[in-house]
Copies of this chain bind each other. A is one copy, B any other.
Amino acid sequence: MRNLTPEQFREQVRNGVFTGPTAGVCDGFVQANLAILPKEDAFEFLLFCQRNPKSCPLIDVTDLGSPVPRASAPTADLRTDLPKYRVYRNGELTDEPTDLNEYWTEDMVAFLIGCSFTFEEALIRNGIPMRHHEEGVNVPMYRTSFDTIPAGKFSGPMVVSMRPMGAGDVVRAVQVTSRFPSVHGAPVHIGNPEEIGIRNLASPDFGDAVPVREGETPVFWACGVTPQSVAMHTKPSLMITHAPGHMFVTDLKSEQLGVI
């Protein structure tokens, strides 16, 4: 799966051949979080993303009623090309389908939001190891005391992901991820978790805890779980997302997102 083109990979997903999580597929291509909302909520959600680009970096937004992400994957269909979806009605998870054929309507707008896979690749290429990969678990994520900037009904705390590293790697991690503002960009905090309202690194709000070793510094990035967490909180009549880890694979190469 690592060496398939995104188009080949999405065809396998569409035909039901591939049904698992997408970590590691289509090496070097950008994967994205999915959020689908009805038109009535789309303007405010778009505004929310515009105001909170660190947590909600938009990769692509579809035309009203179109399931085609024209800027990031013009041959794709967002109704069928993710391995698994989640359907929420009034904030409650009601279904986990493998396609959206029975849910999609002409009234929907789909948002593709940058995900941390892209900047993790860049960190690894720079020799900075990812503890959660070594441990074979999900990255730990925490609600913080940073408030997002509200837009209409959408508001709530920023969620961050945490990666511990040796003090010698911290400066390089800032430099490397600053190149990629459309996949969360530079860290939002370095060091003491209490400064941003995190009481205990061993108890993440989402994902899994990882060990932070003696002398290591925890580094925190804005996380793509933020918009989902915020949207759920508002209990929209209908919201559809990717299932955790089951992302959309775009035609964009990660390096194309580097601003310099």
Q: What is A's interface to B at a CB cutoff of 8 Å?
A: 42-43, 46-47, 49-51, 58, 61, 63-64, 70-71, 149, 151-152, 175, 178-179, 181, 185-186, 259-260
Copies per complex of this chain:
2
Residue in contact with A50 in the complex, picked from B46, B51, B63, B151, CB distance below 8 Å: B46
Bound together, the chains give a CA A200 to CA B61 distance in angstroms of 36
Q: Which of chain B's residues have a CB closer than 8 A to the CB of A47? A: 46, 61
Residue in contact with A63 in the complex, picked from B46, B49, B151, B186, CB distance below 8 Å: B151
Q: Which of chain B's residues have a CB closer than 8 A to the CB of A50? A: 46, 49-50, 58, 61
Bound together, the chains give a CA A181 to CA B185 distance in angstroms of 13
Q: Which of chain B's residues have a CB closer than 8 A to the CB of A71? A: 51, 149
Bound together, the chains give a CA A58 to CA B42 distance in angstroms of 18
Bound together, the chains give a CA A39 to CA B72 distance in angstroms of 28
Most chain B beta-carbon neighbours within 10 Å: one of A50, A178, A179: A50
Q: Which of chain B's residues have a CB closer than 8 A to the CB of A178? A: 259-260
Bound together, the chains give a CA A70 to CA B179 distance in angstroms of 27
Q: How far is the CB of A216 from chain B (nearest CB, A)?
A: 24
Residue in contact with A181 in the complex, picked from B46, B61, B181, CB distance below 8 Å: B181
Asked if A152 meets B259 with Cβ closer than 8 Å, knowing A46-B47, A50-B46, A71-B51, the reply is: no
Q: Which of chain B's residues have a CB closer than 8 A to the CB of A64? A: 152
Q: Identify the closest chain B residue to A178 (Cβ).
A: B260
In the complex, 9 of the A-B residue pairs with CB atoms within 8 angstroms, ordered by the A residue number, are A43-B43, A43-B46, A46-B47, A63-B152, A64-B152, A179-B260, A181-B181, A186-B259, A186-B260
Q: How far is the CB of A223 from chain B (nearest CB, A)?
A: 19
Does the CB pair A181–B43 fall under 8 Å? no
Q: Which of chain B's residues have a CB closer than 8 A to the CB of A51? A: 61, 71
Q: A49-B50, A63-B151, A64-B152 are in contact. List 17 more A-B contacts (CB 8 A).
A: A42-B43, A43-B43, A43-B46, A46-B50, A47-B61, A50-B50, A50-B58, A50-B61, A51-B61, A51-B71, A71-B149, A175-B260, A178-B259, A179-B260, A181-B259, A185-B259, A259-B259
